[in-house]
Amino acid sequence: MNYISTRGRTPPMGFQDAVLTGLAPDGGLLIPTDIPRVEDRLDAWSRLSYQDITFEILRLFVDLPDGDLRHLIERSYMAFRHPEIAPAWPVGPVHILELFHGPTLAFKDIALQFLSNFFEYILKRRDARLNILGATSGDTGSAAIHGVRGRERINIFIMHPRGRVAPLQERQMTAVLDSNVFNIAVEGTFDDCQRIMKTLFSDLEFKRRHALGAVNSVNWARVLVQIVYYFSAGLYVMQTTGAREVQFAVPTGNFGDVLAGYYAWRMGMPIRRLILATNENDILARFFESGVYSLGRVVPTLSPSMDIQVASNFERYLYYKGGGNPERLTALMKDFAATGSLSIPCGAGGRVDELFIPGVGTSADTLATIRRYDREYGYLLDPHTAVGVHVAEQHLDREAPTICLATAHPAKFSQAIREATGREAHHEILDNLAHAPTRCATLPADVEAVKSFIEERAR
């Protein structure tokens, strides 16, 4: 399997180079040249463990020996606290897919544990070093930091918007004091952090000189590993309910998680619909309703990891929607960069894509959903998951059970839980951070300031 850029101006490369490259040199995102169909394997996969399904899917896309791939997968999931890695439970009218059993209690662990082990594997083989640059609205940063902390061939620089991530999310990052970890609080929004990151990756000489690598979902490996739980959970729910299809509700900010579901559907997983749930930062919901992708103002909410306007993975979807035409995609992205808006025509049904059902869950909806599920079902939702559940309940289907992605442990968002239920949510991992020392630099939302910070500390 080779990988090409959505912009069409980067020579094809193998999986290992694609992962180390992160953002394509031409400014596009790397995608596989082919999407394999797997309908004939689903019955056999339904009897496999999570690790074995991961192996079967990843081996279709990677250029690693089978033995090495199996070892990386086994090592990556050793730190998870549930034997099924990502269990799915019936809760009220939906199934909840718990993706928060990793080291930092967030779904990002599932991909970033693998990615960090892969980085170490390939850097050792190539006798190389890597400086990771990332931007986070909350969970990506802590998951990436905990994946690479203390690794001798890697430095990691993580930007987050100052004061705009949950306090516990911030402390999970800044309480890691290993010498290879650098946290940067940017005076701006998450979109500012992403803009700085993409600008620095587009500076090819700077990227080459400092061996910059990406852990954000612009990195193909992130999306690839997340495809797995759409198959594992979907096949499990179909097997236990007798259904022939399922639908997934996905709390959505940066479009990476729901994009993994889109790839699973293209591979042949029987997904009837992808329910795309946003909070008040509803640029993606508006797009799938109208065909217009237009910037608005970032609104702080109870689900801060979704407080995003520019979804960095959206370009991959637009590439496929445009028929795989890189010139057309490049023109669209130039329009968006110049005007803050782009548009594509809606289909005959009045929506952009019949696979995607968009919806919005406000902060009031979030609190009401947390409160109701706690009271009626004894199940505590984090605010991001609650947005997904709220939208999902408007689109339930008797023939296709609804699986809602639970993206984080509720204890990470204690303020929202307290406001909704009147009580505290705890987890020992987070409780232990209460008095831990922290380290973080504060910088303006300026490319040159971040660039200088990295140059002074990069290996």
Amino acid 50 reads Y
What is the C-alpha end-to-end distance of the chain, expressed in Å? 31
CB 335 within 8 A of CB 283: no
Q: How far apart are CA 31 and CA 332, in angstroms?
A: 18
Can 108 be counted among the known catalytic residues? yes
4 bridge partner residues: 31
Catalytic, out of 108, 198, 207, 412: 108
Output the furthest CA–CA distance in the chain (Å, rounded): 58
Instruction: Give the β-pairing of 30-32 and 3-5.
Output: antiparallel
What one-character-per-residue DSSP string does 390-411 give?
A: HHHGGG--SSS-EEEEE-B-GG
Question: What are the angstrom distances between the C-alpha of 456 and each of 133, 157, 165, 459?
Answer: 14, 12, 26, 9
Q: How far apart are CA 60 and CA 54, in angstroms?
A: 10
Only one residue has tokens 């090495």, namely 68
Q: How far apart are CA 369 and CA 208, in angstroms?
A: 48
Amino acid 153 reads R
Say which DSSP state 138 is in.
Answer: S
Any idea how long the chain is? 459
Catalytic sites, residue numbers: 108
